[in-house]
Chain A
């Protein structure tokens, strides 16, 4: 796993250093450039720390391990086929639910969206009973909404 983190960290670090930083830290015309240190100095320095530590992780991993284990996200089960690990599947499914929540928020608003989200999430977490889930979801959403809007005077209109 450390080897994977190191390789990903190194690649992302190099990409940030050579592509993202030069293209996103540009002094606009008319603004006086800083006298001694360029504005991309610190981002580059911090990226270097990431790159060096990623290299350290890679070297440490290469010295320490003999066999690379790719079973963190994928596993082989009885039918000799490759499948996503159940935890990986859970993670992807939860992310899909969360992204759908954010994307549909402008169309459905907080009350409907949160109620639906709570129903799905409670079921996903293993809570059973349609009536219980529906009642709890509606009650909790209304309670939270009322607390933010009427007690904290927050604006939750989308």
Chain B
């Protein structure tokens, strides 16, 4: 089976698709604004007719390489392609200004690849051992595990507890639109087609939430800037000749690698476990590993102080955001719970392909799982190769005009949505979801809890109702087993703790204002 899995990845067709996806991801990563989420959502309808493993391979490759693509622009032009590369700019760009961009990019690429590889190995080891435990879970335990993941996503996604919970509730509610999962009775059909048919379609909803909302945000924020930058086109062209010579300075030295090893350990030590926890993504890992490394190195290194071009700073930040990638798939593969927005999109892809994710996937679709493991490792190695080869052309991508990119992306989104079902109504859903996503972005309501809970809503309901049926209508069955007791108590403690922290923060702020007044 393992040999079959290796063969399913190491063949010409799959490697070709992987290469295209990796290059596409690098380009998307280098374009500020278009992140992995937008790219994966856009590619989702294209993967419909494909084999599930190939579809997942394409998406994971885009995810991984977009993080690396984002680091290149973060180092060279102080603009992180992804929010998860913000901490990379702190030392990457100063290194670049010192004329050591080659060193910084090599360090970022190697640390990303190694961090990612370590995380993937952890995923393989942990998922095989964890799944044997999870297989013993009944509907009650699964219900609590899912609720725990959801509450954690809601609480940790953003600073505001209430906004996180609101987003979670909204996602769960939207997920109930359509047919009742147990009785197949239409429910919440505000429009006939929504209630009487499958409910809210995944592809238009996700494309609207991420793609349309992103375009609307960019349009409202940067229209003036773009017009101005177009006027100054000639001056930019003049300066571009200076930017094109991007790789400056010497390569990485062995002594610098040795010095940065502690930063690498910090990166994998923090990033890998952070990937497992739902809600804590690569952005948090990038920042936390950087600050930890800064403290560990006492703000100093041979290449300079932190913030002024310290190579360990780049290594820590890049290892941290990449070490999240592998382990973020752990809850998805073993429990069917996506730990992040990208995880939610991967789950959506598998659901559309008819693959039921969860502990049973190791029994029913073992070849797919082993294929995923092989793919994760192969894609890490390929990502490093492509990263090194494509650094120069990648920077030119950054100069691509937003005025062309975003309208084109919109047209592709329209065609992608219409091609799935041939219904104009789906375009309406996409626009409505776009408005929702835009409002949520503007008001600071996190999108991740909404996406994850929208996808898990049906499963949570099924597990809950099966549990109650098992208990013969007695709700106390939800607290019978040790696991369910532990999980429910943890959820309650997390909620109380977060409410307490919120109240404390508000009272402290009000107190400060009174003193200032």
**Pick from B187, B189, B414: contact of A39, CB under 8 Å:** B187
Q: Which 3 A-B pairs have the closest CB atoms?
A: A49-B169, A154-B419, A126-B226
**A121 touches which one: B406, B464, B507 (CB < 8 A)?**
B406
Contact A46 B169 (CB under 8 A): yes
Known: A36-B473, A47-B173. A56 touches B46 (CB 8 A): no
Given A20-B188, A56-B165, are A102 and B510 also a contact pair (CB < 8 Å)? Answer: no
Flag B392-414 by CB within 8 Å of A: 1 or 0 each.
00000000011110111011101
| A64–B506 CB distance below 8 A | yes
Of residues B403, B435, B465, which shows the largest number of chain A Cβ atoms within 10 Å of its Cβ?
A: B403
CB pair B187 A49 closer than 8 Å: no
How far in angstroms is the closest Cβ of chain B from A98? 6
B168: contacting residue among A35, A49, A126, CB under 8 A: A49
Asked whether A50 lies within 8 Å of B183 as measured between CB atoms, the reply is no
Bound complex: CA A108 to CA B427 (Å)? 16
A38-72, CB under 8 A of B: which get 1 and which 0? 01101100111110111011001001101000000
Whether A114 pairs with B223 at a CB distance below 8 angstroms is no
Q: How far is the CA of A98 from the CA of B223 in the complex (A)?
A: 16
Q: Do A102 and B403 have beta carbons less than 8 Å apart?
A: no
**Bound form: Cα–Cα A4–B439 in Å:** 12
**CB pairs A–B below 8 angstroms (12 shown):** A20-B188, A27-B185, A34-B465, A43-B187, A57-B162, A64-B510, A87-B221, A91-B220, A110-B418, A122-B403, A136-B404, A155-B419
Kindly identify which residue among B163, B168, B173, B469 contacts A16, using a CB–CB cutoff of 8 Å.
Answer: B173
Considering only residues 126-158 of chain A, those with a C-beta below 8 Å from chain B are 126-128, 136, 140-141, 144-145, 148, 152-158
Q: Of residues 362 to 383 in B, which have CB atoms within 8 Å of A's CB atoms? A: none
Q: Which residues of A contact B464 (CB under 8 A)?
A: 37, 42
A7 touches B (CB below 8 Å): no
Tell me the count of chain B residues lying within 8 A, CB to CB, of chain A.
Answer: 78
CB distance from B287 to the nearest CB of A (A): 24
Picked from B408, B434, B444, B469, the residue with its CB within 8 Å of the CB of A118 is B408
Q: Taking the nearest CB of chain B, how far is it from the CB of A123, in angstroms?
A: 8
Tell me if A31 counts as interface (CB < 8 A to partner B): yes
**In this assembly, does B129 line the interface, its C-beta being within 8 Å of a C-beta of chain A?**
no
Q: Which residues of A contact B46 (CB under 8 A)?
A: 152
| Chain A residue with Cβ nearest B468 | A36
Contact of B176 among A43, A88, A127, A156 (CB under 8 A): A43
Name A60's contact: one of B216, B408, B506 (CB within 8 Å).
Answer: B506
CB neighbours of B472 from chain A (8 A): 36
Q: Are the CB atoms of A127 and B187 closer together than 8 Å?
A: no
* Cα-based distance from A98 to B419 in the complex (angstroms): 18
When each residue 493-504 of chain B gets 1 if its CB lies under 8 Å from chain A and 0 otherwise, what string results? 000000000100
- Rounded to whole Å, the gap between the CB of B13 and the closest CB of chain A is 15
1/0 per residue, CB under 8 A from A, across B192-222: the answer is 0001000000000000000010011001110
- On whether the beta carbons of A64 and B461 are closer than 8 Å, the reply is no
- Closest A residue to B406 by CB, please name it: A125
Q: How far is the CA of A9 from the CA of B164 in the complex (A)?
A: 13
* Beta-carbon contacts under 8 Å, B460-497 to A: 461, 464-465, 468-469, 472-473
- Beta-carbon nearest neighbor of B187 in chain A: A25
Interface flag for B254 (CB, 8 Å): no
Asked whether any CB of chain A lies closer than 8 Å to the CB of B265, the reply is no
A87 near B220: Cβ-Cβ < 8 Å: yes
Closest to B426 in A: A102
Given contacts A37-B468, A53-B165, contact A117 B410 (CB under 8 A): yes
In the complex, chain A residues whose CB is within 8 Å of the CB of B186: 24
B229 touches A126 (CB 8 A): yes
Taken together as a complex, chains A and B put the C-alpha atoms of A153 and B411 apart, in Å, by 17
Chain B proximity of A24: nearest CB distance (Å): 5
Most buried by A among B173, B226, B431: B173
Known: A35-B473, A155-B419. A144 touches B412 (CB 8 A): yes
Hey, what's the 0/1 contact readout for A1-43 against B, CB within 8 Å counting as 1?
A: 1101110010000001000110011011001001111011011
Q: Does B388 make an interface contact (CB < 8 A)?
A: no
CB–CB A105/B422 < 8 A: no
Answer whether A50 and B418 are a contact pair too, CB < 8 Å, given A27-B185, A127-B401.
no
Question: B114 interface residue, CB < 8 Å from A?
Answer: no
Given A39-B180, A91-B216: A49 and B419 interface contact (C-beta under 8 Å): no
Q: A49-B168, A102-B431, A121-B410 are in contact. Are A90 and B187 (CB under 8 A)?
A: no
